[in-house]
Amino acid sequence: MTTVGISAARAALASCHDCHLVVRAPAHHVAATCPRCGAAIHGRKPNSLVRTWALLITAIILYVPANLMPIMTVTSLGNTQSDTIISGVIHLLHHGMWPLALLVFFASVVVPMLKLIALVFLLVSVQGRWQWRPVDRTRLYRITELVGRWSMVDIYVVTILVALVKLGELATIEARAGAVFFGAVVVVTIVAAESFDPRLIWDEVGESRE
């Protein structure tokens, strides 16, 4: 038989977001600070769902121009070519650089898309008061939070190329608006993941077992 202990929320306890000290949870609408590091103490992140939805919708809107607009323009011997993320991947494949093409495609297309889908799924599951597999959903959140920053690899590539390729009239590389939008998508999704409170996944489970 599985023994289910009382939750921290039911015990009127809360964890500091900065130093993780467990303290007595403040009363509703009462400001409290951590006695160890001075950070604000909340039983749950304030307006977590609303802020995460707002950031997530912003990221989805930014994701469209990030993929449709060119991220860089290459001028070589008088010929100019602008590449989006996808056309850049295709260009790498045509030149036999498939490992780099797969890395850019996975980090710059697959990971951001999966992160958006995962955050939408987590938000819907919490608002729908699902009790389905809370452990797996918590693991999904941890993975989503961990891998999101690796989406910046495409921006790193463009930045390095712009810095290195300075050959005057022979070749130049310039970053374009798509890189700005893509960088904004990555940053906004990172903030969205930080705004989501994974403890909300367990609230419904704890209430149903008590």
Greatest Cα pair distance, the chain, in angstroms, is 75
- Give, in order, the Cα–Cα distances in Å from 151 to each of 106, 111, 172, 188, 190: 8, 6, 25, 12, 10
78 or 163, which is more confident?
A: 78
Measured CA angle at 162 (ends 160, 166), to 5 deg:
120
Report d(CA 74, CA 66) in Å as an integer: 18
The pTM of the whole model exceeds 0.85: no
CATH code 2.40.10 for 45-209? no
pLDDT digits (tens, 9 = 90+) for 36-64: 888 777 777 788 899 999 999 999 999 99
Report d(CA 181, CA 205) in Å as an integer: 38
- Tokens 């704890």 found at: 206
Mean pLDDT of the chain: 78
Query: Do the strands 79-83 and 171-175 form a parallel or antiparallel pair, or are they unpaired?
Result: unpaired
Task: Tell me what pLDDT residue 42 has.
Answer: 73
* 3-state per-residue secondary structure call for the chain: CCCCCCCCCCCCEEECCCCCCEEECCCCCCCCECCCCCCECCCCCCCHHHHHHHHHHHHHHHHHHHHHCCCEEEEECCEEEEECHHHHHHHHHHCCCHHHHHHHHHHHHHHHHHHHHHHHHHHHHHHCCCCCCHHHHHHHHHHHHHHHHHHHHHHHHHHHHHHHCECCCCEEEEECHHHHHHHHHHHHHHHHHHHCCCCHHHHHHHHHHC
pLDDT digits (tens, 9 = 90+) for 87-146: 878 877 887 778 877 877 887 888 888 899 999 999 999 998 888 888 999 999 998 888
Contact 47, 55 (CB under 8 A): no
- Which of 209, 204, 203 minimizes the C-alpha distance to 2? 209
Query: Do the strands 72-76 and 13-15 form a parallel or antiparallel pair, or are they unpaired?
Result: unpaired
Residues of the chain with CATH 1.20.140: 45-209
How many Cβ atoms sit within 10 Å of the Cβ of residue 193?
24
Side-chain half-sphere of 47: how many Cα atoms within 13 Å? 6
